[in-house]
Chain A
Amino acid sequence: MLRYKLPPWLLLLLPAIVVLLAVVMLPLLLSLYSSFTSYRLTRPDSITNWIGLYNYEKALTDAKFWAAFGRTVLLLTVALNLEMLLGLGLALLVSKVTHGQRALRTMMMFPMMFSPVLVGFQFKFIFNDNVGLVNNALQSLGITQTAIPWLVDGNLAMFSIIFAEVWTSTSVFAILILAGLYAIPKDPLEAAKVDGCTSWQTFRHITLPFVMPFIYIAMAIRSLDVARAYDIVQIMTNGGPARRTELLWTLIGRTGYVDAKMGYANAMGYTSIFLAIFFTVYFFRKLTTARTELGMGG
């Protein structure tokens, strides 16, 4: 029987490839095409109106777009690094506990149970300047007598968003780094103790290099998922006020769905996709390097 046989690896990968082609690649091709048209949701025939690179030109020469782009990069950088540091700290704290680890670990993962849309509402209420939890607490404790406009002030608004984002996602880092801490072999740690290393030295030269790959894994996972923060930001501030918290995602969402200018939104969307890909590939590189350094192979 003359039948072309697929190599087994391809056969095994086929389901994954097919699903991803159908659900991600096909729609993306559609949106790539529409980004070269004046596509307007409410005028379906406009999808055939080819306008070349006009949308891209318009986006790339728009100061508002670049401001949102810069802010998104800033948010990603600050949030991911903060989450990493806090996650590391949290994991260290939890790993040193002798009793009740199981309960602590579950508590640590508590924010992961919260849907981003819920987190958005939650922090919108917590940071409300008039009846919000934070201001109420600060005023009751006599720390301040003013109503702090958490979601309005230029710096505080970004802070509040980053706080909400860090709150939801630090768990992911903590749990992965905790797994890394458990995996550290005991011998080098004991050897360090015998050699009289301080705990900082032990941490710096033994613990940290060992958990580094876990940190990069967490970074990679988070950079894949970070656009989910859209739900949070959209509900908390929706990019406002006066564009102070405008991110690429809020800008795209509003342009595409509210203004119905899908062609233009997709052109901006592509730049945000490239941004996400850049972050992901960057952390994968780091991950591979860290693995090689630890002799774990690629």
Chain B
Amino acid sequence: MDSNLSHRLKARALKLAHLATLFVAMSIICLPGLWIVLNSFRPTVEIMAKPPVWIPNELNLDHYRSMFGGIGEGGVPVLTYFMNSLVISVTSTVIALLVGMAGGYAFARYKFKGKAALFVGLMVTRAVPGVALSLPLFIVYARIGIIDTHFGMILTYVAMNVPFTVWLIDGFFRQVPKELAEAAEIDGCTRWQAFWRVEFPVAKAGIASAGIFAFLTSWNEYALASQLTRSVTSKTMPVGLLDFTSEFTLNWGGMCALAVLMIIPALVLTFLVQKHLIAGLTFGGVKG
């Protein structure tokens, strides 16, 4: 009885400690982000106040209003940037997934010489730092005239994301038993049909998780975008953030407002697909 009680007490204490730790951890994760959200609703004088204003006296939409306002009144072509970001990120993610599916399938289903080396070779291309790549890439793009175009950005992001999609999708195809596809082929399907009807549905979760990683990478990329985009025809939102800086000033409140618009779509998307994400990662990466 006594030991039972102490055991229960101990369990309860552990549970409490667990919740407290979780709370602290989540606070550290969320506070800096929420601080940005809060700042986007506060007048600059309060954001930069000293002594600090902890409980906001005034929340308003001024930063948002001026962001959508005219040029010279704080206006930034947000909608254009948003569309650019969306078109570039979505298209490049879709293409990277298709290329990744083809490549992943090849690695999972075929045996050939130099497979391991080729695999690591593909992976390593992702490791090239953007700062080392941006200028030579710019020169090549400038020569063929695809600077400041959606096409150029999409191509770049496809290349950035392909190694990762190949890798994740490869792992996922591997755990679809080969016999399954073979059985379908015996039943009169072509290899192509067998792929779409049998292997693809099983690998869907893995593809979704590769997709979200690819999307977030493209959505947030800055180093290359700042070099390869120039005007409203292709500037993406991370590059647009810099519109709030000029030689001597920086409009932090406005920047926060744009940041919030940047975070919301990513957040919604992640919330929607995160179930697949977990499932995809569980089988995809490891059982290679």
* B129/A272 in contact, CB under 8 A: yes
Interface size class of B (residues with CB under 8 A): 35 or more
Complex interface bits, B152-175 against A, C-beta within 8 A gives 1, otherwise 0: 000110110011101000000000
Q: Which one of A51-59, A107-115, A148-156 contacts B?
A: A107-115
* A19/B158 in contact, CB under 8 A: yes
User: Which chain A residue lies CB-closest to B191?
Assistant: A8
* A167/B32 in contact, CB under 8 A: yes
* A13/B102 in contact, CB under 8 A: yes
With a 10 A CB-CB cut-off, give which of A96, A115, A175, A220 has the most chain B CB atoms. A115
Expressed in whole angstroms, the Cα–Cα distance for A151 and B155 within the complex equals 37
Interface presence of B1 (CB below 8 A): no
Interface presence of A180 (CB below 8 A): yes
Interface presence of B200 (CB below 8 A): no
Contact of B110 among A8, A31, A171, A269 (CB under 8 A): A8
* B285/A214 in contact, CB under 8 A: yes
CB of A9, distance to nearest CB on chain B (Å): 4
Which residues of A (28-46) have their CB < 8 Å from a CB of B? 28, 30-31, 34, 41
Interface presence of B233 (CB below 8 A): no
Q: Which one of A61-69, A189-197, A227-235 contacts B?
A: A227-235
Q: Which residues of B contact A284 (CB under 8 A)?
A: 120, 123
* B259/A131 in contact, CB under 8 A: no
User: Which chain A residue lies CB-closest to B162?
Assistant: A16
Complex interface bits, A1-27 against B, C-beta within 8 A gives 1, otherwise 0: 000000111101101110110111111
Q: Which residues of B contact A228 (CB under 8 A)?
A: 130, 223
User: Which chain A residue lies CB-closest to B222?
Assistant: A117
* B281/A115 in contact, CB under 8 A: no
Which residues of A (146-200) have their CB < 8 Å from a CB of B? 167, 170-171, 175-176, 178-180, 182-183
* B262/A115 in contact, CB under 8 A: yes
With a 10 A CB-CB cut-off, give which of B124, B136, B219 has the most chain A CB atoms. B136
Interface size class of A (residues with CB under 8 A): 35 or more
Provided the pairs A7-B112, A16-B162, A108-B29 are in contact, do residues A291 and B288 lie with their beta carbons within 8 angstroms?
yes
Expressed in whole angstroms, the Cα–Cα distance for A282 and B223 within the complex equals 26
Interface presence of A90 (CB below 8 A): yes
Which residues of B (1-41) have their CB < 8 Å from a CB of A? 18, 21-22, 25-26, 28-30, 32-33, 35-36
Interface presence of A296 (CB below 8 A): yes
Interface presence of A281 (CB below 8 A): yes
Contact of A266 among B132, B217, B278 (CB under 8 A): B132
User: Which chain A residue lies CB-closest to B53?
Assistant: A136
* A176/B32 in contact, CB under 8 A: no
Contact of A23 among B132, B137, B266 (CB under 8 A): B137
Expressed in whole angstroms, the Cα–Cα distance for A179 and B48 within the complex equals 41
CB of B172, distance to nearest CB on chain A (Å): 12
Q: Which residues of B contact A225 (CB under 8 A)?
A: 126, 217
The contact sample of 26 A-B pairs, CB cut-off 8 A, is A7-B110, A8-B110, A15-B99, A20-B122, A20-B163, A26-B136, A26-B140, A28-B133, A30-B139, A107-B30, A116-B220, A118-B255, A125-B252, A131-B52, A176-B285, A179-B282, A182-B278, A182-B282, A214-B285, A217-B286, A227-B128, A230-B130, A230-B223, A269-B132, A276-B124, A280-B120
| Other A-B pairs beyond A23-B156, A269-B132, A291-B288, 5, CB < 8 Å | A111-B33, A136-B51, A179-B280, A179-B281, A257-B135
Q: Which residues of A contact B (CB under 8 A)?
A: 7-10, 12-13, 15-17, 19-20, 22-28, 30-31, 34, 41, 89-90, 93-94, 96-97, 102, 104-118, 121-123, 125-126, 130-131, 133, 136-137, 139-140, 167, 170-171, 175-176, 178-180, 182-183, 213-214, 217, 220-221, 223-225, 227-228, 230-231, 249, 252-253, 256-257, 262, 266, 269-270, 272-273, 276-277, 279-281, 284, 291, 296-298
Q: Which residues of B contact A (CB under 8 A)?
A: 18, 21-22, 25-26, 28-30, 32-33, 35-36, 48-52, 54, 98-100, 102-103, 105-107, 109-110, 112, 118, 120, 122-133, 135-137, 139-140, 155-156, 158-159, 162-164, 166, 216-217, 219-223, 237-238, 241-242, 252, 255, 259, 262-263, 266-267, 270-271, 274-275, 277-283, 285-288
